[in-house]
Structure 1
Amino acid sequence: MRWTLKPKPDTEKLKQLQEALQVDGIVATLLLQRGIETYEAAKTFFRPSLKDLHNPFLMKDMDKAVNRIEQALTNNENILVYGDYDVDGTSSVALMSSYLKTKTNQVATYIPDRYDEGYGVSFKGIDFAHDNEFSLIIALDCGVKAIDKVAYAKEKGIDFIICDHHRPGDELPNAIAVLDPKRDDCEYPYKELCGCGVGFKLIQALASKEGKSAEGLTEYLDLVATAIGADIVPITGENRTLAYYGLQVINENPRPGIQAIIDQVKKEELTITDVVFIVAPRINAAGRMQHGDYAVALLTETNFNQAKQYAEEIEAFNTDRREADQQITEEALQQIKAHNEEERFTTVVYHKEWHKGVIGIVASRLTETYYRPTLVFTKSGDKLAASARSVSGFDVYNALEACSAHIEQFGGHKYAAGLTLKEENYEAFKQAFEDEVSKTIDKTLLVPEIKVDMQISLPQVNDKLWRIIRQFAPFGPSNMTPIFMSENLKDTGYGKCVGEEDKHLRITVTQTGQEKLVGIGFGLGDKYDLITNKKRFKAVYSIDENHWQGHVSLQLKLRDIK
């Protein structure tokens, strides 16, 4: 691991913030690193309020979207709510359809089939809308590049409202409204909403026309928080406020579908990390293994017993997904070893039988193992399809662009992408991708990095600091759990390897000899020799709480030891 210590903040700013908030240097430093420089900004950060949400009508085309939906409601038109098969898409569809169903019965939902239709708006979906006399489609988490599809719908007399958060192309679809904060001509103050977040802004705008505020829409925020976590958007600004209140709903009064998932895992209080690793994979499993419709049915169901049944079906899909993912990862690792490809700059593997719904997860697993740009291919119809994943700091989208002579089509962003190519081009592409990455990647990026917020001494780790750090949650991109470094540590003699195959490390650590803190390092069992015989070492860690037999104590969650 590479340890990168974040630069120290400006001394004058640090002093001013400490005085304004009456906090110590550690807390003030952590706030400044997160762009919080004033008393007002800190107040908003520590006390998020739904009153601080921006006026939805600041978003370009919002007035047009609201007018068209009001017209559809007045005229009793059939409205089709359309969204992708991933968590953000299915949550968005559940949010919009359940809100509109409080106004009209003329609402249906549509999730494209991952294998038959692929990502985004499809001609098949528009034909479905036409055959069933829908005159308005509201597309969520997709559509900003669907220029030909929206034009096709217009020919059939169907209007489109698009709620998206992906970067638009040079041209926008000819829709009634294109709600996307990433539009160049959109002056909406917060640019990082997920698709479900844009959908929430639309229902906030609709509700405001009836004199209702955002506080009256909290029942939808469990969906928004789930999408924010799953889509890995920054937990800053509005996203942080929406996630904060959404987590409250998840923990206090979630919709039946989310409650049914929580009941299965028997977890007490969920954090955003739990949402990412417990709730989101189950919702995702429906679209990966069967169909995204199952996820929408689960998230919109109002009867708990029925929701429980849906959750059981989805749990079975998730078990299948897990088994497929483990098996394919194992086969891929064997393939890499068999071809002596451990020393390359890239991982590119292919098997025609691999399940298309899990190749993205497998690509992430392989990136964890070899830490380099990774592509996992499978057969899809008469072509090969792949999921790409990258390492921190390297733009895999640009690398694919450089190899586009061998590719049929590709899309995505810096760290994750998808592509298709002809089978006969596979070997040439594999070599071109290796050549491009080896030529352009900064070799230090091939070693995983831990970004360390600051160096502190062990006696500074106390209950007061922990209480304040807890208030930094919910954590996520641009507001990650604070990571500290301490030097000149030693184990008091109780250090040992624990867990299956001694995989983990448990130590009781001290720095001055006065304080003692338990540290647990998951996956750090191989570092045991560094701490034996009271050898001095340094560690990076986050602060955590250990609950054991009714006792609660602070502990260090070790990330690495040197």
Structure 2
Amino acid sequence: MRWTLKPKPDPEKVNSLSKTLKVEPILASLLIQRGVETFEEAEKFFRPSLEDLHDPFLMMDMGKAVSRIEKAIENEENILIYGDYDVDGTTSVALLSSYLKSFYLNISTYIPDRYDEGYGVSFKGIDYAEDNGFSLIIALDCGIKAIDKVAYASEKNIDFIICDHHRPGKEIPKAVAVLDPKREDCEYPYKELCGCGVGFKLIQALAEKRGLQLEDLLLYLDLVATAIAADIVPITGENRILAHYGLKVINSNPRTGIQAILKQVKKEILTITDVVFIIAPRINAAGRMKHGNHAVTLLTENDFEKAETYAAEIESFNRDRREADKQITEEALQQIIQNKEEERKTTVVYQENWHKGVIGIVASRLTETYYRPTLVFTKSGEKLAASARSVKGFDVYNALESCSEHIEQFGGHMYAAGLTLFEKDFENFKNAFERVVSETIEPHLLTPEIKIDAEIDLEDITPKFFRILKQFAPFGPGNMTPTFMTQNLKDTGWGKCVGEDKTHLRVVVKQGNSNQFTGIGFGLAEKSDIACNGKPFKAAYCIDENEWQGNVSLQLRLKDILE
């Protein structure tokens, strides 16, 4: 691990903000690191307001999109809501379809089959629209590169509205409207919305035209917060507001389908992290293991008994997903060792029978293990399909673009992408990808980094300090849970390896005459020699709460330990 201490903000600014807000200088310093430097900015940060959401009509083509939907409703046209099979796509479809169905009935939904149709807009989906009399398709979380598909639909007199957040190619599809804040010609102030976020801006614009207020749309924000969490978009600006209110809905009055999921896992108050690890994998499991339609059905169901049945079904998909994930990860790790590929700058593995719905998760696990840009391939019909994951600071999308002569189709983000290619091109692609990454990646990016927000002493950790720190949430990219470093820690003699396989480390530490704190380090058992030998050490950690037999105490969630 590379420990990088973030630069200390200007002391004058820290002192000024500390006095203005009546908080500790450390907390003022953390706020300044997050771009919060004044009382007004702090108020917006700690008290997110719906009033600070941007006017949806600032987004390129929003007026056109709203007009076309209004025309469709006026003419009693059939509208097909089309979305990708992942969490962002299925929540988007549930969001827009349930909103439109609240006042217009000629609405149906369509999720492509991951195995039969693959990612994004498909010819099969357009044929389905034609066969069933749909004259308008609204595509969510996909479509920005569907130039040929939109042209194909146009020949069949089917109009398209695209709501996407992925990077466009050189050409924009000739749809009635293309909503994507990442369009170069779009001046929308916030560029980091997820697909469901773009969908929400569309219903915000439609609602505005119908004379509704933002408060009338609050109950849709449980879906938006789920998509924000699952898609790992920055929790800054507009996303922070949407996530903040969405979490409130999840914890107080979630839709029936989310209630049914939560009843199974028996979790009361959820954070964004809980959404990532509890709600999102279950919604995702439908599209991974069976079909994304199951997720949309659950998320749009109003009858609780039916929702419970759908949630139980999705829970079984999730169990299957976990088993497949574990097995494929083991096989992939074995393949890397057998092929003696540990020294490469990239990880590229392939087996034709790996489950296509799980290769993205496996790519993430391999990235955690070897920490380098990773691609996991499987057979998909006549082609090979892959999920790509990257390491922090390296743009895997750009790397794939440099190898595009060997690729049939690709799309995605800086850190996650998907692609298909023909089997005959696999070896050439693998070599080209290794060459491009080797030539462009900075060597230090191949070592995982711990970014430390501030160095503190244990005596700084008080209940009041933690109470304010909790208000920095929701945490996520752009506003990560603060990581601290403390030096001269000593274990009080209670340090030991714990867990079924003794891979975790539990210590009870003091610093000088400070109060003692329990620290838990998952996967840090190999650091026990440093932590438990009676000598001082330093630790990088986050602060969280531990509840045991009704007692709540602060503990250190250890990230790394050094002598």
Q: TM-score range by the shorter chain?
A: over 0.9
Alignment partner of 1:382 is 2:394: no
Residues of 1 paired with 2:93 and 2:281: CA distance?
17
3-state SS of 1:427 partner: helix
Question: 1:428-439 residue pairs with structure 2 within 5 A?
Answer: 428-439=428-439
Question: 1:138-157 residue pairs with structure 2 within 5 A?
Answer: 138-157=138-157
Residues of 1 paired with 2:314 and 2:443: CA distance?
42
3-state SS of 1:543 partner: strand
Residues of 1 paired with 2:2 and 2:234: CA distance?
23
Task: Find the counterpart in structure 1 of residue 489 from structure 2.
Answer: 489
Task: Find the counterpart in structure 2 of residue 241 from structure 1.
Answer: 241
Residues of 1 paired with 2:420 and 2:143: CA distance?
20
Task: Find the counterpart in structure 2 of residue 550 from structure 1.
Answer: 550
Off by >4 Å, runs of 4+ in structure 1: none
| CA separation of 1:332 and 1:58: change in aligned 2, threshold 3 A | same
Task: Find the counterpart in structure 2 of residue 121 from structure 1.
Answer: 121
Residues of 2 paired with 1:120 and 1:326: CA distance?
27
| CA separation of 1:162 and 1:431: change in aligned 2, threshold 3 A | closer
| CA separation of 1:190 and 1:405: change in aligned 2, threshold 3 A | closer
The one-letter code matched in structure 2 to 1:338 is Q
| C-alpha contact (below 8 Å) 2:166/2:412 kept by paired residues | no
Deviation per CA, 1:399-453, whole angstroms, max 9, x where unpaired?
3333334333333232222222332332333233333323332222221111110
Task: Find the counterpart in structure 1 of residue 222 from structure 2.
Answer: 222
With 369-378 and 232-241 compared, the bigger mean Cα shift is at 369-378
Deviation per CA, 1:371-396, whole angstroms, max 9, x where unpaired?
11211111122222221211111222
Deviation per CA, 1:471-508, whole angstroms, max 9, x where unpaired?
01110000000000011111111111111121111111
Question: 1:381-460 residue pairs with structure 2 within 5 A?
Answer: 381-460=381-460
With 534-543 and 185-194 compared, the bigger mean Cα shift is at 185-194
3-state SS of 2:134 partner: coil
The one-letter code matched in structure 1 to 2:67 is N
Residues of 1 paired with 2:202 and 2:433: CA distance?
42
With 338-347 and 532-541 compared, the bigger mean Cα shift is at 338-347
Deviation per CA, 1:315-366, whole angstroms, max 9, x where unpaired?
1111111111111111111111122222222222111111111111111111
Residues of 1 paired with 2:357 and 2:514: CA distance?
53
Residues of 2 paired with 1:151 and 1:488: CA distance?
66
| CA separation of 1:57 and 1:426: change in aligned 2, threshold 3 A | closer
Question: 1:168-183 residue pairs with structure 2 within 5 A?
Answer: 168-183=168-183
| CA separation of 1:401 and 1:74: change in aligned 2, threshold 3 A | closer
The one-letter code matched in structure 2 to 1:289 is M
| CA separation of 1:409 and 1:106: change in aligned 2, threshold 3 A | closer
Task: Find the counterpart in structure 1 of residue 504 from structure 2.
Answer: 504
Question: 1:153-168 residue pairs with structure 2 within 5 A?
Answer: 153-168=153-168
Deviation per CA, 1:245-277, whole angstroms, max 9, x where unpaired?
111111111111111111111112111111111
| CA separation of 1:264 and 1:191: change in aligned 2, threshold 3 A | same
Task: Find the counterpart in structure 2 of residue 539 from structure 1.
Answer: 539
3-state SS of 1:534 partner: coil
Question: 1:183-222 residue pairs with structure 2 within 5 A?
Answer: 183-222=183-222
The one-letter code matched in structure 2 to 1:495 is G
Alpha-carbon RMSD: 1.4
| C-alpha contact (below 8 Å) 2:539/2:559 kept by paired residues | yes
Task: Find the counterpart in structure 1 of residue 82 from structure 2.
Answer: 82
The one-letter code matched in structure 2 to 1:376 is V
| C-alpha contact (below 8 Å) 1:197/1:224 kept by paired residues | yes
Residues of 2 paired with 1:70 and 1:422: CA distance?
43
Deviation per CA, 1:297-321, whole angstroms, max 9, x where unpaired?
0100010110111111111111111
Task: Find the counterpart in structure 2 of residue 464 from structure 1.
Answer: 464
Task: Find the counterpart in structure 2 of residue 364 from structure 1.
Answer: 364
With 426-435 and 547-556 compared, the bigger mean Cα shift is at 426-435
Residues of 1 paired with 2:95 and 2:407: CA distance?
36
The one-letter code matched in structure 2 to 1:115 is Y
Task: Find the counterpart in structure 2 of residue 63 from structure 1.
Answer: 63
| C-alpha contact (below 8 Å) 1:73/1:103 kept by paired residues | no
| CA separation of 1:426 and 1:181: change in aligned 2, threshold 3 A | closer
Residues of 2 paired with 1:399 and 1:93: CA distance?
31
Paired residue total: 562
The one-letter code matched in structure 1 to 2:379 is K
3-state SS of 2:187 partner: coil
Residues of 1 paired with 2:166 and 2:437: CA distance?
25
Deviation per CA, 1:456-483, whole angstroms, max 9, x where unpaired?
1110011111001100111000000000
Deviation per CA, 1:216-254, whole angstroms, max 9, x where unpaired?
111111100000001111101111111111111111111
| CA separation of 1:10 and 1:514: change in aligned 2, threshold 3 A | closer
Residues of 2 paired with 1:70 and 1:533: CA distance?
71
With 147-156 and 276-285 compared, the bigger mean Cα shift is at 147-156
The answer for unaligned runs of 5 or more in structure 2 is none
Deviation per CA, 1:160-207, whole angstroms, max 9, x where unpaired?
221111122233222222222222222222111111111111111111
| C-alpha contact (below 8 Å) 1:387/1:416 kept by paired residues | yes
Alignment partner of 1:330 is 2:330: yes
The one-letter code matched in structure 2 to 1:426 is F
| C-alpha contact (below 8 Å) 1:390/1:416 kept by paired residues | yes
3-state SS of 2:501 partner: helix
Residues of 1 paired with 2:53 and 2:5: CA distance?
34
TM-score (norm 1): 0.97
Residues of 2 paired with 1:181 and 1:150: CA distance?
19
